[in-house]
Amino acid sequence: MVSIAGSKKLKRQMAPQFWGITRKDKRFVITVKPGPHKKNNAIPTAVFLRDTLKIVSSLREAKASIYAGKVKVDGVVRKSLHHAIGLMDVVELENVPDIYRLVPTEGKILKPIKINESEKSKKLVRVVTKTSINKETTQTGFHDGRSTLAEVKASIGDTCIMQIPDQKILEVIKLEAGCQGLVTRGINAGQIGKIETVEEGTFILPKRVILSLGDKKIEIPSDIIMPIGKEEPVIQLK
């Protein structure tokens, strides 16, 4: 069997800080392989168990758990040490009562939070592409690598509430003035504020959002904002 191209390891000094790994340990650490999320915005499954959650003490224990099918991401068993776990992913572990969702918080791109049992079948996905397949079919692509040919009345930048693992769209949250927005990257990652206006992009400037955060307003690119509800988040984010 042909091996997948690309290195399976990364120097610890080059790893993202939100992984939570120790810097002055072994020289290399397992890295993320191509998958649903971008490399710099995801955590490999083995690192998530050992360094982020600290529920195993070594890579050997992480391997045993993952290869035994004890890790579910968005309701699907994942048996790769390098599988990318990213924004809004729901992680379940066999024989562990806690269920985790990865969200931006406290300036970090990703941090696991514990969620209720009733929340594990819901996930927020941001629309990133709309592609015409033929005259009657449009493919909608989401931030976590998923796509659907089902009719979705959403534009790029909108958020869909998806039922997992069925991938059924339950509701669409529009990127518009008056709704609540979650900052997914940057120094304000994890901040939730009210979207005041949405400024259309120009030849020089990208599409932008004016976001109200308490007593201040900031202007940020629309691609790092995720609409999460009208008055309050539609799912648990804290």
CATH label of the domain that carries residue 164: 2.40.50.740
Identify the residue whose tokens are 């120097």.
11
pLDDT score of 219 = 93
Asked if residue 234 is part of any domain, the answer here is no
Indicate the number of domains in the chain.
3
Q: Tell me, what DSSP letter sits at residue 190? A: T
The parent domain of residue 31 ranges over 9-116
Q: Tell me, what DSSP letter sits at residue 207? A: P
pLDDT mean over 209-223: 92
> Which of 15-29, 35-49, 81-95, 177-191 is the least confident region?
15-29
pLDDT mean over 6-22: 84
C-alpha to C-alpha distance for 83 and 111, rounded to whole angstroms? 17
Asked if residue 235 is part of any domain, the answer here is no
Q: Is the N-terminal amide bond of 165 cis, ω within 30° of 0? A: yes
Asked if residue 3 is part of any domain, the answer here is no
The CATH number of the domain where 60 resides is what?
A: 3.10.290.10
Residues 56 and 101 both lie in one domain: yes
pLDDT score of 142 = 97
Residues 112 and 130 both lie in one domain: no
Cα of first residue to Cα of last residue in the chain, in angstroms, is 43
Classify the phi-psi angles of 214: left when phi > 0, otherwise alpha if psi is within -120 to 50, otherwise beta.
left
* pLDDT exceeds cutoff 60 at 5: no
pLDDT score of 4 = 56
Contact indicator for 91, 75 with CB cutoff of 8 Å: no
- The beta strands (E) that lie in 119-231 are given as 122-132, 138-142, 147-148, 159-163, 168-173, 180-183, 192-199, 208-213, 216-221, 225-229
Residues 215 and 196 both lie in one domain: yes
